[in-house]
Structure 1
Amino acid sequence: MKVLIKILVLSLVLVGCSKDGDEIAPKENFNDLFGGKPFKGTAEGVRINEGDDNYTWNGEGRVAVIEALGDSVSIVFMADFGEEGDINLKMRGKVEGSNFLMESEDSASFFRIVNEKITGDISNDAQEMNFEGTLREEQANLTVQVYFKETTGAFPKGSSLNLTFKTSREVSEDDDNGEGCQMRMVPIWGPNGMTMGMVPDC
């Protein structure tokens, strides 16, 4: 019997302001380093319920840096498990040099990519999420641990999901910077419920 995965997407927005006159040389800016061609590889999801690993999903993993605007950008982690569904995680934050920061003074939730290291803790009414990984110019690896406070699709209240991305890409001077990618509209699970949002399909 197939276990259907509810689309789980986190869309958090933090927009910062850049200082006038602060120009960053090519390849020292987050968008220059990690934007363009998406990272592709594998994704694995393991559901843990009452202490047992009782279901595993395997599929394609993709990571893309999109929607660069001023000193803000979005990063998307996409796990495609075929007919069983997909899981999309989307964060928007500010760029500070080669780093990505999504945080606010009035919340303990944050998602950061600093010195190529990914860290994060995000909590809302439905889930608690912990992020650990690395983002380098030709490799993106991430482990996400999600604890479900409420039943969500195939995940009962009190269960958890371990989601792992292992992706890479080859970078050359002749790359088209991802211009061949098409955008598609998907349901996005946000802090205030289900919305629609754009993710790359390439």
Structure 2
Amino acid sequence: MKKIVLLLVSILSLGCAKENDQHVQSFTSFYGGIPYKGTISGSVSIDGGNELDLSGKGSIALIESTKDSVSMVFLSDINRLGEINIKVRGKFDGKSFYKEDENPNIYFQIIDHNIEGKSISDSQEMFFEGTLERERGQMKMVAVFKQETESFPKGTRLELNFDTHRDMSNSNGDVSGCPTRLVPVWSPNGVVMGMVPDC
């Protein structure tokens, strides 16, 4: 099966909040730790033709955290299609994750638990919307490929819907999540190598 990672270069990071300290909260302590896991649904079509329904496993995790930035990854293992992974790097401030680029067509943010973003280039258009709570994460991503890639023909429309959750009732806040692995990362600028969780 093919493994694909969609990378938004210089996009947002998530910050977390400490559950036992309501006055000092960060994006990474609130949303980090054990990954969110669940299901993926969606569809793929070419130039408005017949849609192929997609389903599989999905997860959301934070990795590569520094004092003010982090990488957020949306991982999917889709039946009949393979692995499609989206990696977003950005800044966090308190419980908000955001990336403001000089280009208004590229941004990604999580504010008040709401996910919103887009990335428009000559080769593709990507749109994001959803919600991220302490124990549940949902996101819809739509990608339209305006140029042929190694994995998708020109005119392909891909939609992925993440529905994930986790149980934090027994978490002590020290869980580091999962180890990472180096994989080829597909981006609007070509294929690069990037780290993603090996959950």
TM range (shorter): 0.7 to 0.9
1:11-66: CA deviations, max 9, x gaps? Answer: 422589xxxxxxx9676211111000000000123112232343222111000011
**1:39 aligned residue:** 36
Determine the C-alpha separation between the residues in 2 that align with 1:138 and 1:27.
19
In structure 2, the partner of 1:57 is 54
Q: Report the AA paired with residue 179 of structure 1.
A: S
Match for 1:124 among 102, 121, 125?
121
Percent identity over the alignment is 41
Residue type of the alignment partner of 1:98: K
CA gap of 1:52–1:187, structure 2 versus 1, over 3 A, is same
Which residue matches 2:112?
Answer: 115
Contact 2:61–2:177 (CA under 8 A) maintained in structure 1: no
- Mark the runs of 5 or more structure 2 residues left unpaired by the alignment: 14-20
Q: Tell me, yes or no, if structure 1 residue 91 matches structure 2 residue 108.
A: no
Cα distance, 1:174 vs. partner?
A: 3.4
SS in 1 for 2:152: coil
Equivalent of 2:77 in 65, 77, 80: 80
Seen in structure 2, the aligned counterparts of structure 1 residues 26 and 5 have a Cα distance that, compared at 3 Å, is farther
CA contact (8 A) 1:11 1:188 kept: no
8 Å Cα contact 1:35/1:177 also seen in 2: no
Report the AA paired with residue 100 of structure 1: F
Once the two structures are overlaid, the 10-residue window that deviates more, 157-166 or 131-140, is 157-166
Cα distance 1:45–1:175, how it changes in 2: closer, same or farther (>3 A)? farther
Q: TM-score, normalised by structure 1?
A: 0.84
1:137 aligned residue = 134
1:150 to 144, 147, 151: 147
Letter in 2 for 1:63: I
- Post-superposition shift, 1:170? 0.6
8 Å contact from structure 2 (residues 54, 79) kept in 1: no
Supply the RMSD in Å over aligned alpha carbons: 2.4
Q: Which runs of 5+ in 1 are unaligned?
A: 17-23
Whole-angstrom CA distance in 2 between matches of 1:153 and 1:126: 12
